[in-house]
Amino acid sequence: MMPRERVNLEPGYVLHSREYRDTSRILEVFTQRHGRLTLFARGARGPKSKLASLLMPFRALLLSWSGRGDAAQLTSAEPHVENTPLPSRQVMSGFYLNELIMTLITRHDPQPALFDDYAEALRRLASDATPEPVLRIFEKRLLVHLGYGVEFAVQAGTYYRFHVGEGLSEVREDAPGAYSGRCLLALQAEDLRDGETLDAARRLLRQALDHCLEGRELRTRTVARSMARRGNS
């Protein structure tokens, strides 16, 4: 039988939660040293619960739990650092980050570097940075952690096509879907200040992520498209 594990004051974030029975919640959390896991939070709902206001997405927490495998019980939670709430216009971007982690990161696979990248992305969103460069940089780093990072062996004055699984190959400037070497080098340096580079980053990273998703649709993408259509109508 798997030994009963006790973990105390582990840095982590709640990615998603759902109601369980009358007063409890089932949490999907992302932790620094234990990766993504599921925790049962008993008594975490209701006006008298001390945990209800804490167990929210985008809050840096110190989590403690006890149990085995996917049946661990949350024993305590407390704030880790002072949290700056995400502005309302950044919340959808935050949920997109959460959905990427829940969809692409295996449970119980420690990813401390990705954890730091996620925390950095939330800090930048909370400071009201323009969201798209923040999201593209996180996607780029996530692909590296997944083993699908792009090799940027390119030259600024040359054009390239990206093939998932094969990488970048040189093409003519007018080839369909071509990426300029200048934009690719800027993406490698995570310098996404100009519109052409940001557009190239969006297209290339979408190609790579769609391969990892294997046809799975992200709910946050669907919601974002619906909101954009309503905004343009």
Q: Which of 79, 110, 145 is the last residue of a domain?
A: 79
pLDDT computed for residue 50 by the predictor: 83
Q: pLDDT tens across 141-182, in order?
A: 999 999 999 999 999 999 999 998 899 999 999 999 999 999
Q: Which of 26, 57, 79 is the last residue of a domain?
A: 79
232: in domain: no
Global model pTM greater than 0.75: yes
**How are strands ordered across the β-sheet holding 179-180?**
167-171, 159-163, 179-180
Based on the domain organization, do 135 and 200 belong to the same domain?
Answer: yes
Based on the domain organization, do 18 and 99 belong to the same domain?
Answer: no
150: in domain: yes
Q: Which of helix, strand or coil describes residue 205?
A: helix
pLDDT computed for residue 207 by the predictor: 95
Based on the domain organization, do 209 and 112 belong to the same domain?
Answer: yes
231: in domain: no
Q: Classify each residue of 73-88 as buried b or exposed e, where b means 16 or more C-beta atoms within 10 Å of its C-beta.
A: ebbebeebeeeeebee
233: in domain: no
Q: Which of 79, 98, 126 is the last residue of a domain?
A: 79
162: in domain: yes
Based on the domain organization, do 207 and 100 belong to the same domain?
Answer: yes
CB 141 within 8 A of CB 125: no
pLDDT computed for residue 91 by the predictor: 95
Based on the domain organization, do 105 and 67 belong to the same domain?
Answer: no
Based on the domain organization, do 29 and 140 belong to the same domain?
Answer: no
pLDDT computed for residue 1 by the predictor: 42
pLDDT computed for residue 233 by the predictor: 56
Q: Which amino acid is at 211?
A: H
pLDDT computed for residue 21 by the predictor: 85
Based on the domain organization, do 112 and 50 belong to the same domain?
Answer: no
Say how many domains are in the chain. 2
pLDDT computed for residue 225 by the predictor: 78
Question: For the purposes of burial, counting CB atoms within 10 Å of the CB of 120, is it exposed (0-12), middle (13-18) or buried (19 or more)?
Answer: middle
pLDDT computed for residue 103 by the predictor: 97
Residue ranges of the chain with per-residue pLDDT less than 50 = 1-2
Q: Which domain holds residue 67?
A: 5-79
